[in-house]
Structure formats: structure tokens, C-alpha cells
């Protein structure tokens, strides 16, 4: 399993249990450095464990739990402790993403990444920012479990979908194999 850890906060933000796919813009061009994964609603709590004996021990579904024993949650949000937050205006987001890209560049330098890799990342940055700015009114912003606003993941609902896709700026994450 691969766990994607945020370079700035150290938060675990995603794992290989949620397959990533390349993001494409409205013209069908890949947005370099940006990946996304789908999410879905799952039932949390009220687990029905069948040990192979059916109702041999009595009780039935009506007896199990009470009202509210089950809760529907988004599998990505729940698995990684995302916390929705707000960014005021598109101009606020533009300032935030500029600071974020510079912070990632600093972390890459500190980690001893090759100069070419850092330059590649900085060349990707405008395309990533443009992708989100074009969709700003549709983007939801999430902090990781540490609630550190210096880093975020983003979600956008695709047309007709009931759950969002989550977007990650991949150079801002380290991949740890377990």
C-alpha cells in the first residue's frame, strides 16, 4: 500500500486504496502534476457481522442498534479526517496557491530534490492554478487532520455525480510504501 503524506503538514491525505487518475481540462489536455480520485458514500457504524449462524442466537435486524446506529459518510473524507474550510474569493485563493507552491518548492529543496524536479514543479504550477481558478465557484476546500491551512486538498462534483472527486497537487506529497 502507498500512503500519500503532505510535505508541509505531514498529514496522511490519501492512499493507494483510492486509485488516482490524471486530471484533464475542458479541452482534454492533461493538467501536469494534478491527480484526482473518486469518492463514494459509505455506511459507517452499525456493522452487520455474520459469523455463519444466521439468527441462531436470536434477535434480528429490528433489534440491532437503534435509531441513528448507521451513518452515511464520504469514504475519502472519513478515511483521512478531512475538514472542510473556506477560502473567501478567487483572489484569496490565487494568493494562497502562490504561497502554497512556494512552500512546496522550499520543502523540495530541503529534501534535496534535484534542481530539474523543482523547476518542473514550478513549470506545472501555473497550469494547476489556472485549472482551479476556472472552477473556483465549484471547488470545495479541505484541510487535513492537523487543521493546518498551509496545505489543502480540493473537491469538485463532476456533472451529475452525487459525490465529489478529490484533487491532489502531487508534487506536494510524498509517497510512502508500506
Tens place of pLDDT per residue across the chain (178 aa): 999 999 999 999 999 999 999 999 999 999 999 999 999 999 987 665 555 555 555 555 555 555 556 899 999 999 999 999 999 999 999 999 999 999 999 999 999 999 999 999 999 999 999 999 999 999 999 999 999 999 999 999 998 999 999 999 999 999 999 9
Q: Which pLDDT does position 45 carry in this prediction?
A: 77
CA dihedral sign of residues 81, 83, 84, 87: negative
Cell for 165?
A: 472527486
Q: Which residues of 120-149 are buried (b: 16+ CB within 10 A; e: fewer)?
A: ebeebbebbbebbeeeeeebbbbbbeeeee
Helices (H), the chain: 75-80, 90-110, 115-134
Q: How many CB atoms lie within 10 A of CB 86?
A: 7
Give the C-alpha separation, 108 to 20, whole Å: 22
Alpha-carbon gap, residue 106 to 56, rounded angstroms: 62
The confidence score (pLDDT) of residue 48 equals: 57
Amino acid at each position: 500500500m502507498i500512503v500519500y503524506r503532505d510535505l508541509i503538514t505531514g498529514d496522511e491525505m490519501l492512499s493507494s486504496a483510492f486509485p488516482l487518475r490524471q486530471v484533464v481540462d475542458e479541452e482534454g489536455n492533461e493538467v501536469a502534476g494534478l491527480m484526482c480520485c473518486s469518492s463514494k458514500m459509505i455506511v459507517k457504524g452499525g456493522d452487520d457481522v455474520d459469523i455463519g449462524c444466521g439468527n441462531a442466537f436470536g434477535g434480528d435486524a429490528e433489534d440491532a442498534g437503534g435509531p441513528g446506529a448507521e451513518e452515511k459518510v464520504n469514504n475519502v473524507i472519513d478515511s483521512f479526517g478531512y475538514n472542510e474550510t473556506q477560502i473567501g474569493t478567487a483572489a484569496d485563493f490565487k494568493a494562497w496557491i502562490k504561497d502554497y507552491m512556494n512552500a512546496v518548492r522550499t520543502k523540495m529543496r530541503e529534501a534535496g530534490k534535484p534542481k530539474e524536479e523543482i523547476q518542473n514543479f514550478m513549470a506545472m504550477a501555473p497550469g494547476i492554478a489556472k485549472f482551479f481558478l476556472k472552477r473556483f465557484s465549484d471547488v470545495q476546500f479541505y484541510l487535513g487532520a492537523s487543521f493546518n491551512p498551509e496545505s489543502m486538498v480540493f473537491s469538485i462534483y463532476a456533472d451529475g455525480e452525487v459525490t465529489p472527486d478529490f484533487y491532489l497537487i502531487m508534487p506536494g506529497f510524498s509517497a510512502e510504501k508500506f
